[in-house]
Structures are given as C-alpha cells and as structure tokens.
Structure 1
C-alpha cells in the first residue's frame, strides 16, 4: 500500500518571522515530520499550495479534488488549515467515494514548541491505513466522517456536527 500526501498549507506549515513578528510560509514541514517520526511506509508527497485556509477559494478546492481523483493511490492524506478544513472535506466527501482520504492540520504551527502537529500527523497516518473508503477529518486523536464534523472555534477543537 502506497500513501499519497498532498500539502496545502495551513497553520501546521507556518513559521515565526523574527523581523516582522508574523507567522508565514516558507517550505512545508511535512516531509521532515515524516522523517522525524521514522515513517518507513511507502509514500510520496506533493505540495499543491501553501495557503492559509482562510485564503482558499473554490478553485483551490477543485485543485485538491482533481489531484485526489487523478492520483493512482487509494490512500491519501491532506495537510490543511483548520479554519476551512470542513468545507474542503465536504466537497471531497461528495465526490470521492472509492478512496480513503484523511485531512489533518494543527492549531499550533509545527515550528512552535508544544505544537499538536506531529501527533495529528501520526494519527492521520494510522487512520488512513485502517479506515475504509470515505473522507475523514483526523484531529487530536478523533476521527470524523466528512458529513459529521464541525470546528468549535470557541474551544479550538473539532467535534461531531450535531454537538
């Protein structure tokens, strides 16, 4: 089984700029995180974009969908910003029925101490291997189906949509 990682950006990929004081994108941390986690699975990574998910638009989501549809792998992991992860998940869930797709991200950038990034990546890697076909959000040890997930902005967590 070969895994495909699509990198789209989000907080997980941001780093602190000491001069401006802003969080910004340079390169993705995902390949290095997989190495640090000693991931020995057969996988490949592809960077589609590096965007804050609040700046993502319908065309960006269509790019993600087209990439998932076109790749030969049936097990796909997407790093994504948490602010609009649910919107992307819903689009993919309605269109991708025969692949297992897991979206994950982080509330704290990987580059900052105490980030949840490596934990969420590990959970996503495990989940994509065990889940059947469908689209899922994997965050903070929880797995949510594409049609039953929401982001609780007050608590900074993902939860079932009906809560």
Structure 2
C-alpha cells in the first residue's frame, strides 16, 4: 500500500481560496468515494468558494482543469480512476492525464491536486477511494495538497502569509 510516509497535516482556514474539483464519471463507486473525500477536505479547510464539475472520464480532466485555471481558480483538483485492462489503453490514458494536468499546473502556475488513481484492479481503487472500508482517502489527500499548494503560491507571490506550522 502506498500510504506509508504521508505527512501529518492539520487543516487550516483556506476560506479566501477559490477551488474547483473536476471529477471523472467512470467507476461510480470509486468516484463517489473520491468526491466525498474532496468535499470533506474543502469543509475542513473552510473553503467557501468551491465548484464541482463532472467530465466523462479521466482523459477529459486536463481540458477542464485548464479552463478552470484560466478562470482564476487558485486550485483545481482532478479526480479520476483508470483500471488496467488487457490493452495499452491504460498507459495512454494515464500518461495523457498526468502530462495534461502537469501542463496545466506549470503553464498557469496554479495548484493542481492529482487525485487520479491508476490501479491494476477495482479492489485497489476502492481501497484508495476514502470509503468506510478503504485504507486510504486519495480524494481528501489530493484536495488538501492542492489547497496547501495554493496557499503557498499566494505567499510566494506576496499575496498572503504562510503559516509554516500547519
């Protein structure tokens, strides 16, 4: 399991941030868990300006993330899941989503939370989806990471101070 070594971060007040969550629609049970985790992170960080958008699949995440970055969102969280099958489709979709979301972050200098699960089986995805029986909550983690990165970007730009104790 990949969750070992995660930092112990405490939520902070991010009410001044504008955050968008873009979620794929494939694998409904996994996506419901990821979205629930993202929503918990938004609440725990007191984000009041949040938008949730759905797209057909993981491949479509980068284009929506880019459109939202262009609209001035401080953070964009991308949630999706790709489960390996018997064809190279898995590699193509995973690579396209990763490369596209990285481009959005760098081209727009915006925090992008990477909540795309790339798993061999549906069971592995469910175990990371933040459901009651899951061992990890990647929707929460990706959202919290994006919020923290957005706060740090604001500080680097001189727009706000950073609380290094959080």
TM-score, normalised with respect to structure 2:
0.50
Q: Deviation per CA, 1:34-59, whole angstroms, max 9, x where unpaired? A: 259843322423323143x4xx4xxx
The answer to whether the Cα contact below 8 Å between 2:37 and 2:130 also exists between their aligned partners in 1 is no
Cα deviation for residue 100 of structure 1 reads 0.8
Cα deviation for residue 93 of structure 1 reads 1.6
- In the TM superposition, what are the counterparts of 1:1-163 in structure 2 within 5 Å? 1-11=17-27, 14-15=28-29, 30=35, 34=39, 38-39=43-44, 40-51=46-57, 53=58, 56=59, 60=60, 63-83=63-83, 84-97=93-106, 98-106=109-117, 107-108=125-126, 110=129, 114-116=133-135, 119-131=137-149
Q: Which runs of 5+ in 2 are unaligned?
A: 1-16, 84-92, 118-124, 154-166
Relative contact order (C-alpha < 8 Å, sep 6+): which is higher? 2
Whole-angstrom distance in 2 between the partners of 1:80 and 1:62: 11
The structure with the greater share of residues assigned to strand is 1
RMSD: 3.6
The answer to whether the Cα contact below 8 Å between 1:9 and 1:81 also exists between their aligned partners in 2 is no
Q: Secondary structure at the match of 1:80?
A: strand
The structure with the greater share of residues assigned to helix is 2
Whole-angstrom distance in 2 between the partners of 1:62 and 1:36: 21
TM-score, normalised with respect to structure 1:
0.51
1:45–1:85: structure 2 CA closer, same or farther, 3 Å change rule? farther
Q: Which runs of 5+ in 1 are unaligned?
A: 16-22, 134-163
**Residues paired across the two proteins, number:** 115
